[in-house]
Amino acid sequence: MITVTGARKDFGTFRALDDVSIEIPSGTLTALLGPSGSGKSTLLRSIAGLESLDAGTVVIAGRDVTRVPPQQRGIGFVFQHYAAFKHMTVRDNVAFGLTIRRRPKAEVRAKVDELLEVVGLEGFQHRYPAQLSGGQRQRMALARALAVDPEVLLLDEPFGALDAKVRADLRRWLRRLHDEVHVTTVLVTHDQEEALDVADTIAVLNRGRIEQIGDPDTLYDAPDNQFVMSFLGSVSSVGGTLVRPHDIVLERPAPDDTRANGPGRVLATIERVVRLGFEVRVELRDADGERFAAEVTRGVAQQLGLVAGEQVWAVAPSHAVRDLPQPPDAGVPADAAEADEVASTAGVGEPARA
Amino acid sequence: MPPARGTRAPGGRSLQVGLVVTWLSVIVLLPLAALTAKSFAGGVSGFWDAVTAPTALAALRVTILVSVAVALLNAVMGTLIAWVLVRDDFPGKKVVNVLIDLPFALPTIVASIVLLSLYGPDSPVGIHINATRWGLVVALAFVTLPFVVRSVQPVLLEADREVEQAAASLGASGPTTFRRIVLPTLAPAIISGTGLAFARAIGEYGSVVLIGGNIPRETQVASQYIQQAIEIDQPVNAAAVSVTLLAIAFVTLFVLRVAAGRGRRREEEVR
C-alpha cells in the first residue's frame, strides 16, 4: 500500500505536482497516465525518493518515508533507458542489490538463477548489457529490481525506448508476471493503450494534478471531465459536442435538405475514407474548417457509399453525448486532443522527461 | 560488427596515411632513432655501462619513484577535481575550470622560480621543501595537474546519472555506488590520464631544476643527469639515459592503453 498525501513539487517556477493525493492498494498494478509535463514521472520519482517533495507525505506499507532516502524505502525502480550497469555481466547486474547486502553466495546464486528464469534470460547470465537487445535489457533491469524483494515496484516509462512490437509483447508479459509475483506496481506511461492493456487502476494526470482515478472501464465509459475523455480513447468534436468517433452516426443529406447545423449535428465534407480492417475511419471537415473523424463499420460505409469529396450529416446521438465539465484550470480540449494523438501513435516515444 | 573505420575513397585514404607516416617520421621517429643510435655508439656494453653507472641509476630511481608518486597523487586528486567541477556548483566554478589548464601555459622554469620563492629558504609561508624529494613532487604535481582532470571530466559529463539512481534504489550507499558503479566507468579515463601524467613527469626538467636542488643520488632526476652529462661532454651517457626514459614511458603508456581499452571494449561491444 502506497499513500501519497498533498504532494507538491516545484522545479523553479514550474509546478510539477500540485497537491496530489493518491492511494495505491497492495498487490495492484496502477498506471500513472498523462501527457509529458503532467507530473506523472515526478510523482513516481517522489515515491521512490529520487525527488524530494516540497510539501506532502509518502507512506509505503504503513511507514512514513517522506524523509527516508531511496536506499531505505524498500523499492525497486526500473528506468526508461534501462540504467544497466554496463561493466557488469547480467548475473552481476541482477545480483547487485544482494551482494551489497553481503548475502551468502549460495543464496545470491539461487535467487539470481530463479529471477533469470522468471524474466526469460536463463543462458544470458554471462553476457554484458551491450550484448543484449533493448527488450532483454529491460527484463534484466526488472529482475535486478525484483531481486531485493521490494515492497513496491516502480516503472518509469519502462517500454518507452522499445519499438512498438516489442513494447506490446513486453507489457503483456509484465501483466502475466505481475499476476504471478503480486508485488504492488506503479507504472508511468504516456500511452493510453499501454495503460488500458496492463493496469488494474489508472490515474490520469494533467498539469501536476490528478484528474481522475479509476479502473479502465470507468475512465473510458464515465470520464469525469473533458480532459480524461480526450486523453483516454479517441474523441471527436461534432459542432462543439464531444463524442467517441464510433458513436457518430452518418446520414446522407436528402435532396431538399434545409436543416441547419447545430450542436451535435453538422454537415461535413468527406476528406478521406480509411479502411482499418473491420472498421472504416471517415475523415471529415465541417463548414468552419474543423476536422474530425467518425468510425463506422464496413457495412455501413458501403451502404452509404461514402466517397471522398461528398457531403454527409454527422450526428452525435444524444445517448452518446456526455455533458462534461472542463477540468479545473481549463484544460483546452484541442490541446488534449493533440496530446492524445501523440500518445496513441504507436512507436513514437515521448521525449525524455525534462 | 563495428562499422569500418574509414568510409572515404581508397585513394584518399592512402594519401592521408602517407601524410601521417611522413609527419610522424620527421617529427618523432627520426629524432628518436638518431637518439637510440647515439646511445649505442659504444656498443651494447657501452650502453649498459652508461645506464648502470651509480649516479645514472640513482637519477633514474629517483625519477621513477617521484613520478609514480605524482601519478598516483594525480589519479586521486585529478578525479576529485573533475568530480567537483562536473557535479558541484559553486561561485567561481568557471574560473577554476580555466585555472586547471594554466600549468600547461606557464613556462615550467617560471613554475620552478615561483615554487622556490614560496617554499624555498626564504619561504614567506614557512614551508621549506627546497632540495628535497617533496620539492620534486610538488613541482611535478603542478605541471601534470591537467592530465587526469581533463581526461576524466568529459566521461563524467557523459555519465548516465540514472545508473547511480538505480544503484541507490537497490540499496547502495553513496560510497558503495561510487566504488562499484562510478569508478569502473571512469577507470579507463583515470588510467590514461595517470599514464600521461607519469610520462610527462619522468621527462620534466624546467619545473624541478631550481626547487629540486640537483643533489646526485638524492634529488637529481634523470633529466638533470642528462643535462649534466652533456655539459661534461658525455653525449653517449646522456643518450643512453634518455633512451631508457623513453623505453619506460613507452612501455607504461602501452600497458595502460591495453588495460584501459579492454574495459572500454567490453562496455561498448555491439550485438
Per-residue pLDDT reduced to its tens digit, B19-67: 999 999 999 999 999 999 999 988 899 999 999 999 999 999 999 999 9
Q: Predicted confidence band at B269 (pLDDT cuts at 50, 70, 90)?
A: low
Q: Which residue, A169, A195, A226, sits at the end of a domain?
A: A226
Looking at the fold, whether A128 and A256 belong to one and the same domain comes out as no
Looking at the fold, whether A138 and A262 belong to one and the same domain comes out as no
- What is the per-residue pLDDT across A69-88, written as a single tens digit (0 to 9) for each? 999 999 999 999 999 999 99
Nine-digit cell at B145?
595537474
**Residue A333 distance to chain B (closest CA, Å):** 35
Does A350 fall in a domain?
A: no
Q: Find the residue in A nearest to B269 (Cα).
A: A130
Does A61 fall in a domain?
A: yes
Nine-digit cell at B83?
568530480
* Cβ contact A128–B184 (<8 Å): no
Partners of A295 in the beta sheet?
A: A281
* Cβ contact A96–B167 (<8 Å): yes
Mention every residue, 6+ apart, whose C-beta is less than 8 A from residue A114.
Answer: none
CA within 13 Å, CB half, A83? 28
Give A-chain residues touching B266 at CB under 8 angstroms. Answer: 87, 128, 130
Does A320 fall in a domain?
A: no
Question: Do the Cβ atoms of B240 and B47 come closer than 8 Å?
Answer: yes
Q: Find the residue in B nearest to A88 (Cα).
A: B267
Nine-digit cell at A143?
529482475
Domain enclosing residue A248, as ranges:
234-315
* Cβ contact A48–B171 (<8 Å): no
**Residue B182 distance to chain A (closest CA, Å):** 10
Looking at the fold, whether A94 and A242 belong to one and the same domain comes out as no
Report how far residue B224's alpha carbon sits from residue B220's, in angstroms, rounded to the nearest whole number: 6
* A48 closest CB neighbour out of B169, B185, B271: B169
- What is the per-residue pLDDT across B226-238, written as a single tens digit (0 to 9) for each? 999 999 999 899 9
Architecture of domain B44-270: Orthogonal Bundle (1.10)
- A322 three-class SS: coil
CA within 13 Å, CB half, B35? 16
**A223 torsion bin: left (phi>0), alpha (psi -120 to 50), beta (else):** beta
Does A332 fall in a domain?
A: no
Looking at the fold, whether A182 and A299 belong to one and the same domain comes out as no
Does A322 fall in a domain?
A: no
Q: What is the pLDDT of residue B191?
A: 93
Give B-chain residues touching A87 at CB under 8 angstroms. Answer: 184-185, 263, 266-267
Low-confidence residues in chain A, pLDDT < 50: 330-354
Which is nearest to A297 in space by CA: A342, A245, A349?
Answer: A245
Q: What is the pLDDT of residue B214?
A: 87
Looking at the fold, whether A138 and A169 belong to one and the same domain comes out as yes
Percent of residues, chain A, with pLDDT higher than 70? 92
Q: How far is CA A228 from CA A211, A239, A242, in A?
A: 7, 20, 12
Q: Predicted confidence band at B264 (pLDDT cuts at 50, 70, 90)?
A: low
Looking at the fold, whether A243 and A200 belong to one and the same domain comes out as no
* Cβ contact A83–B163 (<8 Å): yes
pLDDT at B270 > cutoff 60 = no
B171 touches chain A (CB under 8 A): yes
Q: What is the pLDDT of residue B271?
A: 37
The mean predicted confidence, pLDDT, of chain B is 89
Q: What is the pLDDT of residue A349?
A: 38
Looking at the fold, whether A159 and A308 belong to one and the same domain comes out as no
Q: Chain A interface residues facing chain B, Cβ-Cβ under 8 Å?
A: 48, 50, 69-72, 75-77, 79, 81, 83-87, 96-97, 100-101, 128, 130-133, 141, 144-145, 147-148
- Helices within A147-187 (DSSP H only): 164-181
- What is the per-residue pLDDT across A129-150, written as a single tens digit (0 to 9) for each? 999 999 999 999 999 999 999 9
Q: What is the pLDDT of residue A320?
A: 78
Q: If you count residue pairs, one on A and one on B, with CB atoms under 8 Å apart, how many are there?
A: 77
Whichever domain contains A257, its CATH number is 2.40.50.100
Give B-chain residues touching A141 at CB under 8 angstroms. Answer: 166
Does A163 fall in a domain?
A: yes
Give A-chain residues touching B155 at CB under 8 angstroms. Answer: none
Average pLDDT over residues B67-77: 96
pLDDT at B260 > cutoff 90 = no
Report how far residue B14's alpha carbon sits from residue B20's, in angstroms, rounded to the nearest whole number: 10
Looking at the fold, whether A41 and A157 belong to one and the same domain comes out as yes
Q: Which amino acid is at B230?
A: I
- What is the per-residue pLDDT across A197-213, written as a single tens digit (0 to 9) for each? 899 999 999 999 999 99
What's the helix, strand, coil split of chain B in %, to 5?
75, 0, 25
Does A138 fall in a domain?
A: yes
Report how far residue B148's alpha carbon sits from residue B82's, in angstroms, rounded to the nearest whole number: 8
- What is the per-residue pLDDT across B162-212, written as a single tens digit (0 to 9) for each? 999 999 999 999 999 999 999 999 999 999 999 999 999 999 998 998 888
Looking at the fold, whether A33 and A155 belong to one and the same domain comes out as yes
Centroid of chain to Cα B57: 21
* A83 closest CB neighbour out of B162, B263, B266: B162
* Cβ contact B168–A70 (<8 Å): yes
Domain count, chain A: 2
Interface predicted TM-score (ipTM): 0.79
Looking at the fold, whether A40 and A161 belong to one and the same domain comes out as yes
Report how far residue B268's alpha carbon sits from residue A129's, in angstroms, rounded to the nearest whole number: 9
Does A334 fall in a domain?
A: no
* B173 closest CB neighbour out of A50, A71, A130: A71
* Cβ contact B169–A50 (<8 Å): yes
B231 touches chain A (CB under 8 A): no
Average pLDDT over residues B11-21: 85
Q: Predicted confidence band at B246 (pLDDT cuts at 50, 70, 90)?
A: very high
Whichever domain contains A56, its CATH number is 3.40.50.300
Name the phi and psi angles at A105, rounded to 5: -55, -45
Looking at the fold, whether A205 and A254 belong to one and the same domain comes out as no
Question: Do the Cβ atoms of A284 and A270 come closer than 8 Å?
Answer: yes
* Cβ contact A130–B180 (<8 Å): no
Looking at the fold, whether A261 and A138 belong to one and the same domain comes out as no
* Cβ contact B267–A75 (<8 Å): no
* Cβ contact B165–A76 (<8 Å): no
* Cβ contact A132–B271 (<8 Å): yes
**Residue A203 distance to chain B (closest CA, Å):** 24
- What is the per-residue pLDDT across B95-153, written as a single tens digit (0 to 9) for each? 999 999 998 888 988 988 888 889 988 888 888 888 889 999 999 999 999 999 999 99
Of residues A252 and B266, more confidently modeled: A252
**Residue B77 distance to chain A (closest CA, Å):** 24
Name the phi and psi angles at B115, rounded to 5: -65, -40
- A91 three-class SS: helix
Q: What is the pLDDT of residue A327?
A: 66
